[in-house]
Amino acid sequence: MQIANPIYDVVFKHLLEDNDIARLLVATILGREVAEISPLPQEKTIPMEQRRFTVYRLDYSARIR
């Protein structure tokens, strides 16, 4: 699954800093209850001559019931 909308990237990043919202989003995507979630954010910008964009990746460790 790929979800991308650069217009709301900053808002999305801000929302996912809240563990309750992140847990709700992951639970909704998986269709299962998430008991515990621990964010492990990673962000990396790689300058490329022909492309100008940032890749934002969020890694989570989740305990699912």
Instruction: Report the chain's mean pLDDT, rounded to a whole number.
Output: 73
Across the range 17-36, mean pLDDT stands at 87
**Distance (Å, whole) CA 38 – CA 5:** 24
Could you tell me what percentage of the chain is helix, strand and coil, using 3-state DSSP and rounding each to the nearest 5?
A: 35, 30, 30
Q: 31 CB contacts (<8 Å, ≥6 apart)?
A: none
Q: Say what the pLDDT of residue 30 is.
A: 86
Whether 11 is covered by a domain: the verdict is: yes
Whether 39 is covered by a domain: the verdict is: yes
Whether 54 is covered by a domain: the verdict is: yes
Is 80 exceeded by the pLDDT of residue 45? no
Across the range 16-43, mean pLDDT stands at 83
Q: Say what the pLDDT of residue 57 is.
A: 62
Is 60 exceeded by the pLDDT of residue 56? no
Q: Give this prediction's pTM.
A: 0.53
Whether 55 is covered by a domain: the verdict is: yes
Beta strands in 1-65 (DSSP E): 34-44, 55-64
* Domain range for 36: 6-64
Instruction: Look at the chain and report how many structural domains it folds into.
Output: 1
Whether 1 is covered by a domain: the verdict is: no
